[in-house]
Copies of this chain bind each other. A is one copy, B any other.
Amino acid sequence: MSIDITREFLDNLEEEILAGKKENYQEFINDSHPADIAEIVDKIDEEAAEILFRSLENELGAEVLMEIDEDLRAKFLEGYNGQEIASELIENLDSDDAADLINELPSDQRREVLDNIEDEQQALDIARLLIYPEGTAGSLMGTELIKVYDTWRVLQCVKEMRKQAEEIERVHAIYVVDASNKLLGTLSLKKLLTTSTKTPISEVYSSKVQYVEINTEAEEVANYMQKYDLVVVPVVDPIGHLVGRITIDDVVDFIRDEAKEDYNLASGLTDEVEEDDSILSITRARLPWLLIGLFGGLLAASVIGRYETDIEIIPQMAFFIPLIAAMGGNVGVQSSAIIVQGLANQSLSGGTITRLLKELGVATVNASILAATVIGSSLFLGYSMALALTVAVALFAVIIVAALIGTFVPLILNNYKVDPALATGPFITTLNDIIGLFLYFQIGRLILA
């Protein structure tokens, strides 16, 4: 299936590379898939990795470079000048990868690289791709595609495909355009194989073509390709000219990254952080959230501080602080998680009012059951009826409020173009903690006083 990259294997290889025994591994490496070589490069010692990388032929090297860790790539690129990047790397990459690579370069080097690309059409294609803002269809697309004109016959089409296919690794689809490059439809391989070579293309192509516009958001492209089970989708400019195509593998990467980002935000981690990053960068990803939690905790302390005399009189009030705080946090996260997912899948149905009423319905059912449970348990555990009642009423109130906050905050964030997934993290938990405690002590004062 694929090579098994064990630690032992890596240690051996590392030793051979550092000992300069190129003949022992060269054949194996040249036979390996770029993705496997990239995995090896990522996992061995940096010095050995650089030696291994430099020993690769240009084409293989370029492909490996695009698969390795971003930090390592930046490091390897320091050894190249603009002219080398253009001739050794860019010329061996698909336009979308080439654009990504140039985007990662320091800005003063970008121009130098573009100027040094020999194939003018390629330079133009890449320069265009660099314009599209991140997170749009334009930034995901490549320009390599097979297109034929509606005025051709099947035979001419097959000839042209032979020519174009030389340049293009995989043929996913054949696009039919008119003389002005406007996308008219697609020609299926099936039709191409089963039609006489003299048939005009205009008679056999399918005009039911699915496409996305260049400014479409990446998220929407992902949903679109998933909805229609597309492996590749053509990209058109606002007036319908065919400008590129997006393949599903780039979208899969995008989907995974997005899911990871949401998960990280919900878990209180900033940025892309991997288990094998350095202690410092992991700390950097975590500390900001913990500081929010800390200041939230200090705020909670001063809220409780306002009720110091109540606690002096009934110290048992303090026992239920964690319960109230935890439940507010949990309900808030649950409510916001559903909204966040609905926003991401664009599957939120109905208006804000309907959604709110429903959330209130769920919250009321949960709150009633939990309040009843807490009264029963508290009495059973020997707390006073007044205290049990206080906790139950406060719990009910906290759940309702937390559900409302959990529903509103992601919607508001989304309105202001902030990633709504932020709302499921420590932020909302802390907010609900504080409000919940205030409600709890206020209700306690009413019932217990």
Contact = CB atoms under 8 A, between A and B. Distances in A.
Interface of A: 1-2, 33, 35, 39, 43, 158, 161-162, 165-166, 168, 170-172, 188-190, 193-194, 210-213, 216, 224-231, 247-249, 251-253, 255-256, 259-260, 262-264, 266-269, 273-276, 279-280, 282-283, 286-287, 289-291, 293-298, 300-302, 304-305, 308, 311-312, 315-327, 329-331, 333-334, 336-339, 341-342, 347-350, 355, 358, 361-362, 365-366, 369-370, 373-374, 377-378, 381, 424, 426, 429-430, 433, 437
Contacts of A289: 330, 334
Contacts of A253: 226
Contacts of A298: 323, 374, 377-378, 381
A323 B349 contact: no
Contact of A275 (B286, B300, B330, B341): B341
B322 A322 contact: yes
Contacts of A190: 165-166, 168, 171
A322 B300 contact: yes
Contacts of A1: 210-213, 216, 224
Contacts of A267: 266, 333-334, 336-337, 424
B224 A327 contact: no
Given A190-B166, A252-B252, A263 B260 contact: no
Nearest to A297: B323
Highest count of chain B CB atoms <10 Å: which of A259, A326, A362, A429: A326
Given A229-B249, A248-B231, A330-B289, A321 B322 contact: yes
Contacts of A334: 267-269, 286, 289-290
A378 B282 CA distance: 27
A86 to B, nearest CB: 24
Highest count of chain B CB atoms <10 Å: which of A293, A301, A365: A301
A273 B338 contact: yes
Contacts of A321: 304, 318, 321-322, 325
A301 B322 contact: yes
A318 B304 contact: yes
A301 to B, nearest CB: 4
Given A162-B193, A276-B349, A294-B323, 16 more contacts: A2-B224, A229-B249, A251-B252, A266-B267, A267-B334, A268-B330, A293-B326, A294-B370, A294-B374, A298-B378, A311-B311, A311-B315, A312-B315, A326-B426, A326-B430, A329-B329
Nearest 3 CB-CB pairings of A with B: A297-B323, A267-B337, A259-B259
Given A161-B193, A323-B294, A227 B35 contact: yes
Contacts of A316: 305, 308
A33 B413 CA distance: 34
B304 A308 contact: no
A263 B262 contact: yes
Contact of A266 (B263, B274, B301, B315): B263
A358 B273 contact: no
Contacts of A168: 190
Nearest to A247: B231
Contacts of A374: 294, 298
A33 B262 contact: no
Highest count of chain B CB atoms <10 Å: which of A43, A263, A319, A365: A319
A129 to B, nearest CB: 18
Nearest to A226: B252
Highest count of chain B CB atoms <10 Å: which of A293, A358, A424: A293
Contacts of A274: 338, 342, 347
